[in-house]
Amino acid sequence: MRYFVHIPRSLGYLMFLATTVACLFAGCGEEDVPFVVDEDEIRRYLSETEEGRDLYRRSSLIADEPYSVPYDDEATYEDLVDSVRRAIYFDISGDKKLKDFGPYVTRDAEVEIEDNFHIRTVRTTADSTSEERRALKVRRYAYFLKLGSDAQAYSGWVLSGYNGGTPEYPANLTVIREDGASSFPGDGTDYDVFRYVTYDTSYVSNPQGGTDRIITPVAGFSSHRYVKLSEIENISGDSILVFRGTDIPNKSFYQLLCGETKSGFTQQRMARPDSATYLDTLRPPDPNRRLWNVVMLREFRRIFIPDGIPPDTMVVQESNWCVPYRVPQ
C-alpha cells in the first residue's frame, strides 16, 4: 500500500528557499574564496615582522629596577607590571594620491597601538612597604602603505612611518652621540605629516539639458606626525647616547629614562644639574640583538589642585613617549 503526502505549494517554496540558503553557507562542494581583511593583515605584520615586534614591543619598556623620587630620599620605588592589554585602532583609506611616496601608492592606513599596563608601584623605606595600583597607557602610532597586491605578504601592507607618542608638554629633548658625530630630537619635533590628495566628484546641469561631471582635488594630511623608517637614526653599538632636556618648567617633577644597555634593561631617574635641565646617558647593547630599538621617557609633572587641603594639594601626572633608533647589523 502506498501513502502519498501532500505538501502545499507555499510550504514547498519555503523548503526550497531553506535548502538554497543552507547550500550557500555550506558551500555545496565549491572551494572557499579567501577574503582579505586589511586589519588582520596589519595586526599580523605588527606581531610577526622584526620592525613591528621591536618598535611596538610591550616588553623592555618598564623595568622593575628601583629608583628614587625628589623630596623623598628615604624611600625607593619600583614599578611592577602585572599585565598588559593591547588595543589597536585603524583608519584605512580608500584610493588617494599620496604626494610623499610617489605616484603609484594609492592606499594608506594610520594605526594607533594602545598598550594598557597594569602596574603596582611599590614604595619601600627602612620601616615599611606600601604599594599603589594604577594603569599606565602607552600610545604609539604606525603609518602603513599598501605597496603590493593582496597575493603578497601581509596583502602588500608595509610599515613606512613611526610615531612613538609625543610628550603632553614640550620636552625640548635632544639625543646626542657622545663623540658628537650626530644628534637628533628626542621628542618628535622632527616628525612631519604626510600629504595626500583625494578627488571629490559632483554633477552640474549644462545648457544642453544634460549634466557635467566636475572632479575637484582636495588636499589633506595624515592625522599624526611620523618619521619615515628610512630616516630613523642609525646608532652603532659602541656609541654612548646623551639625553639632554632643556627649558624644563618647574612643574616637571622628575623624568625616567628606560632602555636596553650593555648591562641589561634599565630604568633610571635622569639627573637634573639645574632646575631647567635634564641630563643622562645610555650605552646601547653591543652587540645589539635588535635591528630596531626604542628608549622610553616617562615624565612626571606636579599639577596643583585649586583650593586643595594639605596633603592633597597636588597630583602627579605622567606623560610618556618612545624614541626610536636603528642599529646597523
Chain-centre distance for alpha carbon 286: 26
Confidence band for 322, pLDDT divided at 50, 70 and 90:
very high
Global pTM reads: 0.81
What pLDDT is stored for residue 155 in this prediction? 92
Closest alpha carbon to 238 in 262, 268, 265, 270: 262
Mean pLDDT is lowest, of 77-91, 242-256, 314-328, for 314-328
Average pLDDT, the chain: 83
| Residue 8 scores a pLDDT above 80 | no
Structure confidence at residue 216 (pLDDT):
84
Name the percent of the chain lying above pLDDT 90. 43
Cell (9 digits) for 191: 616628525
Residue 138 has pLDDT above 50, yes or no: yes
3-state percent helix, strand, coil for the chain, nearest multiple of 5: 15, 50, 40
| Among 239, 268, 296, 328, CA closest to 55 | 296
Q: Torsion-angle region of residue 47: left (phi > 0), alpha (psi -120 to 50) or beta? A: alpha
Domain residue extents for the chain: 9-326
Closest residue by Cα to residue 114 from 84, 134, 143: 84
Q: Residues of the chain with pLDDT > 70: what percent?
A: 84
Position 310 scores a pLDDT of 57
- pLDDT tens by residue, 223-281: 999 999 989 988 876 788 999 999 988 888 899 999 988 888 888 999 999 989 999 99
pLDDT at 276: 92
**Average pLDDT of span 9-28:** 47
Q: Is the pLDDT of residue 295 over 90?
A: yes
pLDDT at residue number 79? 93
- For residue 301, pLDDT over 70 is answered with yes
Q: Please give the grid coordinates belonging to residue 270.
A: 635622569
pLDDT (tens digit per residue) in 34-47: 556 899 999 999 99
Mean pLDDT of 93-103: 74
The mean per-residue pLDDT over the stretch 178-191 comes to 83
The C-alpha atoms of residue 215 and residue 57 are separated, in whole angstroms, by: 43
Which is higher by pLDDT, 73 or 62? 62
* Residues whose CB falls within 8 Å of the CB of residue 322, separated by 6 or more in sequence, listed in order: 55, 61, 138, 140, 164, 165, 294, 295, 296, 297
